[in-house]
Structure 1
Amino acid sequence: MLAATLAAMTLAAPVGAARAAVTDAFYDRVFMLAAHQKCDLFEPKLIAALDAAALQARGAALRAGTPASDLSAAAARARSKASRTACDDADLGRVRARVDAGFAGWSRAARMTFPGERGAWRGDRYESQAVGWRLVQDSVTGGSPVRFGLAGIGPTATTPVAVVSFVGGPRPYAARLVMRDRAQAPRVWLTGGGLPPESVRQVFFAAAARAAAPTLLTEGARQGETWTFSPQAADAIAQLDPRESFVIEFLFRDDSVAEARFEAGDFAAGRAFLAMGLL
């Protein structure tokens, strides 16, 4: 898997070499995506796999310390090279063959973990009769487990939800998802645990809670509540820097707030993985 390969390079190589390796991986994937856009090289499922791999390589590069500006420059170089490369170019044909071979197995993966610095997203492309997690990360508020991600009966029709199993006590009357507002704070915010001051935060309120399906609960939990968020909330998370955090806040009638923190990580790559559809 790409994740394991990137992790191995990061552990085995000096910092500078690790940065170069993950940046090169990102460049290669952007080049092939741009070449496909020009020359129609690959089938849709492989393109979805390549898109997921490009996003994952970008996240790995950022976590390895590569400045975002360097990645933007690398992407621009890759697209420029693709625009100058003829569709019948012999080297492009050889690279295409390697991509076909390399991503054929990758695109058949049913489950995949996208590790981050503090948390991981777990992707699942199976279909089931009951609603299940297709992309999920675990967190906690106090002693109560919280899960957030995309739930559905299959990978391509999902809804962003948070599931919490509060231990005793009152239940919240509302839940909201909080993150950096990219319009007000366009620069990545990595201090303060990856969450900016309240004045430049974006908030998405959830719909009213309902009892959680057993298939969405953490292991050992007997009950829980599902809070549903809008697709726009998921889009906003996908646009965050992988090193940033977002928070789900549960609001109680005594004015107290219970907070569960999540890492944006490779959420965007996970969504692209689901876009490959069923096996």
Structure 2
Amino acid sequence: MTIGFQHPTAKVAMLAMALVAIPGAALAQPTAPYYERSFVLAADLRCDLFQPDVAAALSAATQQARSAALRAGTSEIDLRAAGDRALSRARSVSCADPQLATVRQRVEHAFAGWARLPRMEFPGVRASWIANRVPATGPSWILTQASVTGASPVTVGYTAGEIGDRLTAVVSFVGRPRPYAARIVMRDPKRSPRAWLGGVSDLPPTSVRRGFWAVSFGNADSALLVTGKSAGEAWRFPTEAAEALEKLDPREAFAIEFLFRDDSVASAIFEAGDFAAGRAFLSLGPLGGLAA
């Protein structure tokens, strides 16, 4: 069911029916799930509707709805407009509205189960982000996407204890010396406001890219290596890199570039995908605990 943009107190109960029957379900209009989940998130900020785990699960579902709308061909302009309407509507609804209480109950019922999920896969066009909330006693991946540069495997994501901090890339080079630097490169929205959709493996032209240099590196813990590898390097990037990655269209590519002293560059291509949804899911915290 698609929700019309009527007086804020008139159709709030209808919202619950369409919004939370099945988390992730698509409605008739591509922007409808994003609009409706954005409305409830905004209402939660005003009215403190949900416990942190439910709010985090709803946030992840909202990011998924954004990605689904973009993949369906919705423009960023239309999505921003839908988000603005949702925010305006949330500001107009009374926190004491009994119909909002109905929405709250149905959202809690639909999304509370996310708090018990140990893992989630967020599929993209050609690659997936894998989120893992199972507690570990040592270093472990909690959000990953895999790629290669040549025959060398590269993994990018978050390791336990670093969500919201620094993205990490781990590489095990085959037959090459260790690179002296690494950077993440992606479209620069200031130079190219529109998403670059030349192909899931194509980066935008150099003239409209921006990069984020790794701020530290060292030997990777064996638990972070792909199966069959005994050694590798871990490169960590500033928080700004993750913030920029979240703003990309989910269909866009980004790359990790490794620079060598012979002036060669080895690149591993990744897909932006539902990176933001993966981060939101991880904000639930390790399984058995709540988000901080």
Give the TM-score normalised by the residue count of structure 2.
0.84
What residue number does 1:15 align with?
A: none
Q: Distance in 2 between matches of 1:227 and 1:212?
A: 9
SS in 2 for 1:122: strand
Q: Distance in 2 between matches of 1:167 and 1:156?
A: 29
Q: 1:194 to 1:73 in 2, by over 3 A?
A: farther
What are the superposed Cα offsets for residues 133-164 of structure 1, whole Å, 9 maximum, x if unpaired? 11110001111110001112x47565311111
Q: Distance in 2 between matches of 1:87 and 1:147?
A: 44
What residue number does 1:159 align with?
A: 166
What are the superposed Cα offsets for residues 81-117 of structure 1, whole Å, 9 maximum, x if unpaired? 2222222222212111110100110122121111111
Q: Distance in 2 between matches of 1:137 and 1:86?
A: 42
Higher mean C-alpha deviation, range 263-272 or range 166-175: 166-175
Tell me which of 64, 67, 76 is aligned to 2:72.
64
Residue 181 in 1 paired to residue 184 in 2?
Answer: no
What residue number does 2:142 align with?
A: 134
Residue 246 in 1 paired to residue 254 in 2?
Answer: yes
SS in 1 for 2:184: strand
What is the identity, as a one-letter code, of the residue corresponding to 2:208? Answer: V
What is the identity, as a one-letter code, of the residue corresponding to 1:114? Answer: F
Residue 120 in 1 paired to residue 120 in 2?
Answer: no
Asked if 2 retains the 8 angstrom alpha-carbon contact of 1:134 and 1:155, the reply is no
Residue 204 in 1 paired to residue 212 in 2?
Answer: yes
Q: Extract structure 1 runs of 4+ deviating beyond 6 A.
A: none
**Unaligned regions of 5+ residues in structure 1, if any?**
10-17
Asked if 2 retains the 8 angstrom alpha-carbon contact of 1:19 and 1:65, the reply is no
What residue number does 1:13 align with?
A: none
Q: Distance in 2 between matches of 1:209 and 1:121?
A: 23
**Unaligned regions of 5+ residues in structure 2, if any?**
1-19
| 1:35-114 equivalence runs, <5 A | 35-114=43-122
Residue 191 in 1 paired to residue 195 in 2?
Answer: no
* Bigger proportion of residues as helix: 1
SS in 1 for 2:116: coil
Asked if 1 retains the 8 angstrom alpha-carbon contact of 2:165 and 2:239, the reply is no
CA RMSD in angstroms comes to 2.1
